[in-house]
Structure 1
Amino acid sequence: MSRILILGATGNLGQLAADALASDPQVTLRVASSRRSGYDRLKARFPHAEVVIADWYDRESLVKAMQGVNRVFVATPDFYTDEHLVTPNIISAAQSVGDIEQIVRLIAIPDGLTADRLSPEFLATRCGANLHVIAKPLLVASGLPVTFLNVPAWIMFNLPWFLAPEVKKHRQLAMPAVTDASRMWVSEGDISEVAARLLRGSAEDHIGREYVLTAAQRYNYQQIAGILTEELGEQVTFVDEEGPLREMMGDKFDTLMTYFRHETQAYGEVTHHETVVDLLGRPQVTVQDYIRHHRHLFI
């Protein structure tokens, strides 16, 4: 029997990982939020799970959340996480509890990327991989039983999040051209299923390992617009326009643009790994699959 804690269970990937584990009779599930509003949402979504409050910045709340579990999944949110504080708190809490058999940590780091290769300006964005280049070496040095789930690619939920409003209104893929790149895309469903597989399996098989999720193909904005055109049956055109992104991100827009200046360059050499096939025994979701399945979000 696995007793699993999901830290950050109100986040996209934490919630989906909890979904993947909730119906497993061999799993006792505990889900955590740092806020009362999140606690209430988790209570409604996971009526058979234990729901707790655990604040990344409050070590004692993390200790309480970890007591009685043997597996922990960690997926920290962009922009708001100071890994210089959060990861030491998680490490200290796990060491204090002493019964943790496995920590599965989500990261998004191209091979060889380390903090000393990043500018202070980029590190200050607390976005994407810059969170993880701080967290990973701390976890490695901690001596804790850690498994890394590394996704050095874009997650497909960004397709409807960034693109759907303008596609619906104007049949335009509207993004600043300076943010364009040939990117790998991995579905959130594949990520959460792999996370669940790592958490419910034999911990000994995965400790000290890093599982990399990538994609066999890359797409730029023009190619994504072509797939949208094919799946919607109407012409979708890529336009160089920052207005929709600026409106969506608000005061985080400039921070995100700083992140893009690094991200558009840093992931070009990432190679594909057949992790989904190896662990789940099925092909992974493609961009075309995803847009077809979520067509309703774009029309």
Structure 2
Amino acid sequence: MSSEKNRKPIPRSILIFGAAGRIGGPLAKFLHREKPCIRLRLVSSNQERIENLRCDFPYAELVYANYFDLPSLISAVQGMEGVFVIAPSGTDERPAMTNLVAALKEANTAVHVLRVLGLQPEANLRRLPQRMRDLSSALPTQHPIAKRILDESDLPVTYLNIGATFMDNLMWMKGGLRRERKLIWHNRLIPWIDPRDVAEVAGRLFLSDNHRHIGQFHTLNNGHDLMRLSDAAEIMSEVFGEKITHDGSRGSFLKEYEKIGVRPSSDLWDFFSYEEENEVVWARNDFVQRIIGRKPLTLREWLRENAELLLS
């Protein structure tokens, strides 16, 4: 075992992109609770949302910044030692991360950058169907671009790869659950995780002095749930006390989700089909549990907590 002591500075200030999101918001609350002396600066790319965020996070500084507006990024990162980076679906990562790297290098204050990735960013892009490669906004093509740019920057980056589906994605499916007690979604095999546990992982990595996390690619899931959506429907039946069926047909999927605008639904279905050909990659791991020091939330526990929101 290495005798080298931990030597990563704990950031005295942390910038959080996506503060209104399901990871950024819980991360800000976690850091304020665990280490209130840390100066928090929260970023929104929506000017109108800043006042609402100010009410939710009175202890933090709120700023506007946009990945495609370099001056706003330069201003946002000024003086920040920790930086949490997450990008909205459909982000063109090449200009976005190029701008962010330029801003961080100009500021020259970052001691730890956390970047959230997902959708198998470690996969060989040449294996993607050509139609998916031709979609410039497709996440499977964009996240590897983001990683490559950050790798080449030599900034102190740790990657948080979401090797799972977020449990609250089930909220997209509440229409079918409420109307017909039917879970309508591709019958993908996938691990699961609560975004709040991802936020705590990020927070604990920022608060860690272990320099060995710098440059690492950590894959996150709850270490417990690796199942298909049809299996999730069976757990729902047990938790809700009534029968929940599953419909994994393409026709039902497109009919259900095109009307509520969940991305281009046909493109999403194509990704699930690609994912199915590569589902052997999924594996449970205990990384989240080791970092947060407790067992992550299970899908069954999350369903108990959110039954009323899903069904009523």
* Shorter-chain TM-score above 0.5: yes
Q: Distance in 1 between matches of 2:121 and 2:264?
A: 27
* Structure 1 residue matching 2:261: 3-state secondary structure: helix
Superimposed CA distance per residue, residues 185-221 of structure 1 (whole angstroms, 9 cap, x where no aligned partner): 1111111110111122226242112221123332212
User: Structure 2: where are the runs of 5+ without partners?
Assistant: 1-10
Q: Is the 8 A contact 1:110 1:270 kept in 2?
A: no
- Corresponding residue number in structure 2 for 1:229: 237
- Corresponding residue number in structure 2 for 1:219: 227
- Corresponding residue number in structure 1 for 2:71: 60
Q: Distance in 2 between matches of 1:157 and 1:250?
A: 14
The 3 A distance-change label for structure 1 pair 266 and 16 is farther
- Corresponding residue number in structure 1 for 2:281: 269
Of the candidates 144, 149, 157, which is equivalent to residue 138 of structure 1? Answer: 149
Select between 192-201 and 117-126 the one with higher mean Cα deviation: 117-126
Of the candidates 183, 193, 200, which is equivalent to residue 193 of structure 1? Answer: 200
- Corresponding residue number in structure 1 for 2:131: 121
Query: Runs of at least 4 residues of structure 1 off by over 6 A?
Result: none
Q: Shift in Å at residue 15 of structure 1?
A: 2.0
Q: Shift in Å at residue 133 of structure 1?
A: 0.9
Of the candidates 85, 100, 120, which is equivalent to residue 110 of structure 1? Answer: 120
Q: Shift in Å at residue 112 of structure 1?
A: 4.1
The 3 A distance-change label for structure 1 pair 150 and 248 is same
Q: Shift in Å at residue 119 of structure 1?
A: 4.0
- Corresponding residue number in structure 1 for 2:190: 183
RMSD value over aligned CA atoms?
Answer: 1.9
Task: In structure 2, give the amino acid aligned to 1:236.
Answer: I
- Is 1:89 matched with 2:99? yes
- Is 1:282 matched with 2:297? no
- Corresponding residue number in structure 2 for 1:49: 60
Task: In structure 2, give the amino acid aligned to 1:174.
Answer: I
Within 5 Å, which residues of 2 pair with 1:140-155? 140-155=151-166
- Taking structure 2 as the reference length, what is the TM-score of the superposition? 0.88
- Corresponding residue number in structure 1 for 2:50: 39
Task: In structure 2, give the amino acid aligned to 1:7.
Answer: F
- Corresponding residue number in structure 2 for 1:4: 14
Select between 184-193 and 257-266 the one with higher mean Cα deviation: 257-266
The 3 A distance-change label for structure 1 pair 22 and 122 is farther
- Is 1:14 matched with 2:24? yes
- Corresponding residue number in structure 1 for 2:6: none
**What is the count of residue pairs matched by the alignment?**
294
The 3 A distance-change label for structure 1 pair 115 and 92 is farther
Q: Is the 8 A contact 1:109 1:133 kept in 2?
A: no
* Structure 2 residue matching 1:248: 3-state secondary structure: coil
